[in-house]
Amino acid sequence: MADDYKVQIEKEKRLDEDRKRRAQTSNYTSADSLVDSAATFVCRCSCCSTYAMVLAVPLEGLPRRATDGALVLAAADVLPASQKVTALPEIHIRRAAGIEKQWRSSCTQCGLLLYYRCEDEERLFLARDALKTDAEKISESGQKKTSAANVPGGAGYVPKTVVVRPGL
């Protein structure tokens, strides 16, 4: 009988220890994240809205490349492990200054060219109008709109449902 009592006490101690461990387990949320969401800009493909990458700088105000109008972005401004793109084979383009090698990346969903790298590894060239941020919405006329009514959580935001019917 004394052995049964000792076994019962041991079981209760193990249960108490398990309960303490469970109580100490905390859930990980976006509030606990080390990434500051106010300082990041999520970019999506402008064709199919598939997630493409996260940048540390806004797209607005980036300088444009004179040869093709691409946005010039420092490679350090792309957050690590945030790119969801498909790498394409290297291509060669004839420019006035000579042959330029480009390593291109496209959207994983629709195949739209999103950006390319040249031999200079410190810069990315974002294709003209290939990316949009979450704050930007494309209207039916193709004009970009960025107002509080279009931003989720903004005043007057109304989610819209779009029905696509094949053959129309």
Within 10 angstroms of residue 88's Cβ, the number of other Cβ atoms is 14
Average pLDDT over residues 59-80: 87
Residue 7 covered by a domain: no
CA R_g for the chain: 26
pLDDT of residue 64: 92
pTM over 0.75: no
Tally of structural domains, the chain: 1
Residue 5 covered by a domain: no
CA dist 78 and 82 (Å) reads 7
Average pLDDT over residues 55-80: 87
Residue 15 covered by a domain: no
pLDDT of residue 146: 46
Count of CA atoms in the C-beta half-sphere (13 A) of 161 = 2
CATH number at residue 128: 2.170.150
Residue 163 covered by a domain: no
Residue 20 covered by a domain: no
Q: Is the pLDDT of residue 13 over 50?
A: yes
Domain limits at 110?
Answer: 36-139
